[in-house]
Amino acid sequence: MNIKKYINMMLLKLSQGYKINLTEIKIYKEGKKYTTIKLIIYKYGKDKKNKTIEVNSNRELILKLKEMI
Structural domain of residue 55, as residue ranges?
A: 3-68
Please list, in sequence order, all residues whose beta carbon lies within 8 angstroms of the beta carbon of residue 22, skipping any fewer than 6 positions away.
Answer: 11, 37, 38, 39, 40
Helix (H) or strand (E) holding 11, with range, is helix 3-14
Sheet holding 32-44, edge to edge: 19-29, 32-44, 49-55
pLDDT of residue 48: 87
- Place 20 in a pLDDT band, splitting at 50, 70 and 90: very high
Q: What percent of the chain has a predicted confidence (pLDDT) above 70?
A: 99
- Are 11 and 17 spatial neighbours (Cβ–Cβ below 8 Å)? no
Number of domains in the chain: 1
- Whether the per-residue pLDDT at 37 is higher than 80: the answer is yes
CATH code at position 62: 3.30.160
